[in-house]
Amino acid sequence: MNLLNDWLLLVLTLPTDNSTARMRFWRALKAKGCAVLRDGVYLLPATDAAEAELLELGTSIGEAGGAAHVVRTSSRGADQEAEFQSLFDRTDEYAAFARSLADARKTLSDLSPAEITRLLRRVGKDFEAISSIDFFRNEASTRAEATWQDFVALTNTVLSPGEPHQAEGAIAVLLREDHQGRTWATRQRLWVDRVASAWLIRRFIDSRARFLWLASPSECPDDALGFDFDGAAFTHIGDRVSFEVLVASFGLDDEPGLLKLGALVHALDIGGPVVPEAIGFEAVMAGAKARALTDDEMLAEMSNVLDSLLAHFAASGKTDAGKRP
């Protein structure tokens, strides 16, 4: 049995004497992923959110001197359903995106870390712009997702040589009292997961921790507790980054704000749901890295930032809890 979707039709007449407004409305239609049925008639899969957006756009068109009507309808049958869905095939857009990634790969060796970070953010927005209007996913969608993840992994390798691969297995539950006054080791040139993990260790796990910053994971002493590299005592497991593994290992899940902070570290380290504070944290961290002469200085400076972020997340968590019925 073929399922038929509901559709939204936007029938409009754009103002003829305002080219700026026409261009603005055309760009809005393109950004929403509207398909063109004919001049002045646009199509979208029907959702409440899409209907609200089209109604709002129609109001703006009317205020600018045009006219717009939003109509909800259904496909007449399987053939028309297939025809409508084909209008939203993003294969060509994904192919162009893949070509842009191929070009970007060639430039990575010539870019500074800050430039690579900006490039990653820009092409990430390009991918999101396509995937957000990919209403009927197909093989091209899957290939594009894989290509994007490969590019992210490559940039992470360039930015952080020795970045750990995802390991499988259960996370052991450990006692903090068994891990006091230890030497902890990770890769030098601290960045998101490593600096946050080092802060977490000293703040919540081992207040007398000593840190070694390794030029190579192979230099880790046998008696040191390694973190955030392949083969380390604490590294990526499943879909958790090293910070999240440390939180789970030492039973810190109930510490106010730590899970939100973990989501921020996760998003910046390997991607994931957007955390609003992440961009600001990354900017502060880039500034700290430019000023710090050593990893010890980097950790000291970012520890104050992480203390403040934790307080913010803990307070916002209490506020959110107070709003629940």
Residue type, 194: R
pLDDT the model gives residue 1: 41
Q: Of 86, 112, 144, which residue is a domain's last?
A: 86
In degrees, rounded to 5, the angle at the alpha carbon of residue 283 between the alpha carbons of residues 279 and 302 is 110
pLDDT the model gives residue 166: 66
Domain extent for 151: 91-159
Can you spell out the DSSP letters for 284-306? HHHHHHHH-SSHHHHHHHHHHHH
Share of the chain above pLDDT 70, in %: 94
pLDDT the model gives residue 321: 38
Candidates 256, 268, 240; CA nearest to 309 is 256
pLDDT the model gives residue 162: 65
- Note whether 205 and 302 are same-domain residues: yes
Class of residue 267 by CB neighbours under 10 A (exposed 0-12, middle 13-18, buried 19+): buried
* Domains held by the chain: number: 3
- Note whether 72 and 98 are same-domain residues: no
- Note whether 52 and 78 are same-domain residues: yes
Residue 195 confidence (pLDDT) above 80: yes
- Note whether 225 and 311 are same-domain residues: yes
- Note whether 51 and 135 are same-domain residues: no
pLDDT the model gives residue 163: 67
- Note whether 194 and 309 are same-domain residues: yes
Confidence of residue 324 (pLDDT cuts 50, 70, 90): very low
Residue 1 resides in a domain: no
- pTM exceeding 0.75: no
- Note whether 57 and 149 are same-domain residues: no
Q: Of 106, 130, 159, which residue is a domain's last?
A: 159
pLDDT the model gives residue 320: 47
- Note whether 150 and 235 are same-domain residues: no
Q: Of 61, 86, 111, which residue is a domain's last?
A: 86
All residues at 6 or more sequence positions from 186 whose CB lies less than 8 Å from its CB, including other chains: 194, 197, 198, 211, 212, 213, 214, 226, 227, 228, 229, 232
Residue 3 confidence (pLDDT) above 90: no
pLDDT the model gives residue 318: 55
User: In whole numbers, what is the pLDDT of the chain averaged over residues?
Assistant: 90
- For the chain, give the number of residues: 325
pLDDT tens for each residue of 72-91: 999 999 999 999 999 999 99
Residue with tokens 């393109």: 30
pLDDT tens for each residue of 264-323: 999 888 877 878 898 899 889 988 988 999 999 999 999 999 999 999 999 987 544 333
Residue 276 resides in a domain: yes
d(CA 152, CA 138): 22
d(CA 307, CA 309): 6
Residue type, 114: A
pLDDT tens for each residue of 139-149: 999 999 989 98
pLDDT the model gives residue 18: 84
Residue 168 resides in a domain: no
Confidence of residue 155 (pLDDT cuts 50, 70, 90): confident
pLDDT tens for each residue of 91-108: 999 999 999 999 999 999
All residues at 6 or more sequence positions from 289 whose CB lies less than 8 Å from its CB, including other chains: 190, 191, 298
